[in-house]
Structure formats: structure tokens, C-alpha cells
Amino acid sequence: MRQLFAGASPRVCVAFWLFGLINNVLYVIILSAALDLVGPGIPKGVVLLADVIPSFITKLVAPYFIHLVPYEARILIFAALSAGGMLIISITPSYVDGGSTSTKLFGVLLASLSSGGGELSFLGLVHYYGPFSLAAWGSGTGGAGLIGAGAYALATTSLGLSVKATLLSSAFLPVIMLVSFFTILPLEPIRHSRRTVQVKDDDEASANAAPEREGLLAPEDQDLGTGPSSHKKAKAPAQFKQNLLRARSLFFPYMLPLLLVYIAEYTINQGVAPTLLFPLDESPFKHYRAFYPTYNAIYQVGVFISRSSTPFFRIHDLYLPSMLQVVNLVLLIVQSLFDIFPSVYIVFAIMFWEGLLGGLVYVNTFAEIRDRVDKKDREFSLSATTVSDSGGICIAGFISMAMEVWLCNWQVSGGRDWCRRL
């Protein structure tokens, strides 16, 4: 075991675990609070889409220009957006008191922007800190599901805190992100890389300026874009075009399997799982509302385990678990339609397996990029690939809103009206 973790920096591992936790935990808390935010009259898929579409757009466009923003500035911006979003959500009166749902959704939007920018930035940052930083990040994101959902349920039920107080307290969590970056994480690798790039640019500028100083260029040739400033301007469009080509090369080996697994698992979680109900006397529950949070908790345990697994276990064929996740989706749709399983415990096992598969594809996608992509392309590739998970969630969000209604209506028409008793 000691040899397995040889070379791992405790400070790096702690910092990246906290990055993964805090960057994702607000997303989980917002989804856990969906009913309390918008009330029973608005589909909860609206909150899911508000929580993921801004993140998706950020991941789609930001990798092509965010390298111009230093990591220090990014962290400050993301922390401010997260805290501001949660403050808006918490201080806006609830729907019962006549509060504006659109204002709350604007707060969700700000938090989503921060989450998307944070994910692509922290995964890009992995490039400078080695494989254990990726393992710690993955474990932290897996822990966010367990801790976020569990903490919200504990605070609003067992501890008796109001929804407003719970959400308001979560607005201070981004402070942990700031402390992790500026006090725990060793920043020398980033600064060293920045100095190296600066020296390279200075050398290129000197080389370009040398002929001019020696008088080898005619006066009319001196405005043709060979000086240092025009060199940088000419370099930006070329770099953008190069990044587009890089992104295209990432699609089939990395982006597509990640996209598929997220479409399948979020369609299960949001569209199918609410209809996976059994007679109460054949289950461990007293209320039908207990099925869904239990499924989610079991799923999150699987995600946490698999996202923490890269130091111990690696997969290289990303399509196999993605296809198995699609099989899970089909199997659970069949169960919802035809009630083929004799026991709810079979569904429990599939939900755990679903979490394992989803977490494995997520963390191993970025591990494969770290291992296979050239060093000069790695930081961009890690950041750009993050668009797949948010894209998959967006697609699943739209599918799920129709899927849940269709499956519930099918069940009611066949005499199983349990989905109407939630």
C-alpha cells in the first residue's frame, strides 16, 4: 500500500480532494433542494437544466480562451460566483411566501457557471500536479454527492434547520476552495510553467526583433507583423484553430463515451428512477417518497467508490462501461413498464452498479487523457473534454421530463398508480 502511494504529496491530494468536493457539492445541494426551490407545480427538471446548461455552455466555449486568465484570478471569480449564487437562492423568499422563482433560478445559473468553469480549470490544473491529483479530484467529486445530499437532508430534517438557513450556510463553502488553493496547494508548479512560457515568448520576441536591429529589413517591411506585439496577435487565431483541431481529435476516444454514459445515467436518475416503485408491504419503506432518495443514495455510494478507484484499478476501454450503462437504462425502463423484478433489492443492486459504471468512465476518461495525450496538448484536452458530462446531463434532462410522465401514465393505465402517490 505504501508503494502504491509513493510520490503522492499530501498537500496536493488534500487540495484537489477539497476542490472536487466544493466545486460539486453546491450542484448536489441545489438538486436536493429542487422541490423546496420551485414548489410542486414546476417540473424539477427545470432546476436540473438551470443547474447544468450554464455549466455546459461554459465548458463548450471557455477552453478556447480561459488560458489567458491566471488560475489565481479564476479561483477568485468562481468562489465569488458560487457564493453570490447561493446567497441569491437563500435570501429570495420561497414560493409559498410569493418569492420569485426566476430570481432563484438566476442564483442557480451563477452557481452553475462557477461549477462548469471550476471543473474545466481544476482538471486542466491536474496537468501540473501528477496522477494523484486526478485521483484526489475524482474522489472529491464522488464525495460531493454523498456529503451534499446527506448534509442537506440531515440539516432540514434531523437538525430542523430551515431551507433558507441551510442554503445560506452553504454560501460560505467556497471559502474552503480559496483556502485550499492559496494556502494548501503548492503553487510553484504553476508559477514555474508561467515563467517558462514567459522566457519562451521573450526568446521568440528577441529572435523576431534581431533582424530589425541589424538593419536587415527595408523600412516598408518593418510593418509586416514581425514585431513582438503583432506576433502575439497573429498567434491567437492560429492557436484557436489548433485547439479546434485538438477538440475534434478528442471526440471519439474520450468525449463520446463520457457523453453516452451521462445521457444514460441521468436519464435513469431523473426520468426512470421516480417510477421504479413496489408495493409498500413488499419493500423496506413506509412511504412511496422514500424510494427515490434511497436509489439516489445507493447510486452516490457507487459513484464515490469508482471515482476513488484509479490508484487501485484502471480501465482503458471506455466504451464498454458506457454501453453497459445503456443496458442498465434499457433494463430499468423495461422494469418500469412491465414490473419484471420480484424484489426492490434487485433495483438497489442495479443502482449501485450504475454509480460504479458512471464514476469509472468519468475518472478513467481523464486518466487516459493524462496518459495518452501529448504534454503540450494535455491541459487543453483535459479542460475541453469536460463538456461531455454537462452535455450528457442537458440531453438527459430534456429526455427525462418526457420519460417520467410517459412511464407514470403507462403504469397508471395498467393499474399501478403508485407514481401518483408520491
Closest of 386, 400, 370 to residue 265, by C-alpha: 400
Rg of the chain in Å (alpha carbons): 24
pLDDT in tens, 246-284: 899 999 999 999 999 999 999 999 899 999 999 999 999
Q: How far is the C-alpha of 419 from the C-alpha of 406, rounded, in Å?
A: 11
pLDDT-derived band at 35 (thresholds 50, 70, 90) equals low
pLDDT in tens, 383-420: 999 999 999 999 998 998 889 889 999 999 999 999 98
- Is residue 95's pLDDT more than 60? yes
- Is residue 182's pLDDT more than 90? yes
The confidence score (pLDDT) of residue 113 equals 95
The arithmetic mean of pLDDT across residues 62-87, rounded, is 95
- The domain ranges of the chain are 10-189, 237-422
Cβ contacts of 316-323, under 8 Å, gap ≥ 24? 316/364, 316/368, 318/253, 318/254, 318/257, 318/258, 318/361, 318/364, 318/365, 318/368, 319/257, 321/257, 321/261, 321/357, 321/360, 321/361, 322/257, 322/258, 322/260, 322/261, 322/264, 322/357, 322/361, 323/260
C-alpha cell belonging to residue 165: 438557513
The CATH architecture annotation of domain 237-422 reads Up-down Bundle (1.20)
C-alpha cell belonging to residue 375: 504534454
By percentage, how much of the chain surpasses pLDDT 70? 86
pLDDT-derived band at 38 (thresholds 50, 70, 90) equals confident
DSSP calls for 328-385 = HHHHHHHHHHH---S-HHHHHHHHHHHHHHHHHHHHHHHHHHHHHS-HHHHHHHHHHT
Least confident of 11-15, 104-108, 207-211, 384-388: 207-211
Helix axes 375-384, 228-250, angle to 10 degrees: 60
Which H or E run contains 169? helix 163-170
The confidence score (pLDDT) of residue 232 equals 46
C-alpha cell belonging to residue 240: 484557436
pLDDT-derived band at 7 (thresholds 50, 70, 90) equals low
The confidence score (pLDDT) of residue 202 equals 53
- pTM comes to 0.86
Residue with more model confidence, 134 or 39: 134
CATH number, span 10-189: 1.20.1250.20
- Is residue 309's pLDDT more than 50? yes
pLDDT-derived band at 2 (thresholds 50, 70, 90) equals low
pLDDT in tens, 325-355: 999 999 999 999 999 999 999 999 999 999 9
Least confident of 47-51, 125-129, 236-240, 362-366: 236-240
Residue with more model confidence, 361 or 156: 361
pLDDT-derived band at 99 (thresholds 50, 70, 90) equals confident
DSSP calls for 185-222 = S--HHHHHHHHHHHHHHHHHHHHHHHHHHTT-S-GGGT
The arithmetic mean of pLDDT across residues 234-238, rounded, is 65
pLDDT in tens, 185-234: 999 999 887 776 655 555 555 555 544 443 333 333 333 343 434 444 44
DSSP calls for 85-139 = HHHHHHHSPPGGGT--HHHHHHHHHHHHHHHHHHHHHHHHHGGGT-HHHHHHHHH
Q: Quick check: helix, strand or coil at residue 413?
A: helix
Least confident of 176-180, 244-248, 314-318: 244-248
Buried b (16+ CB within 10 A) or exposed e, 242-277: ebeebbeebeebbbebbbbbbbbbbbbbbbbbbbbb
pLDDT-derived band at 159 (thresholds 50, 70, 90) equals confident
pLDDT-derived band at 323 (thresholds 50, 70, 90) equals very high
Closest of 119, 120, 155, 161 to residue 21, by C-alpha: 119
The confidence score (pLDDT) of residue 218 equals 36
Counting every residue written for the chain, the total comes to 422
Phi/psi region, residue 415 (left: phi>0; alpha: psi -120 to 50; beta: rest), is left
The confidence score (pLDDT) of residue 32 equals 81
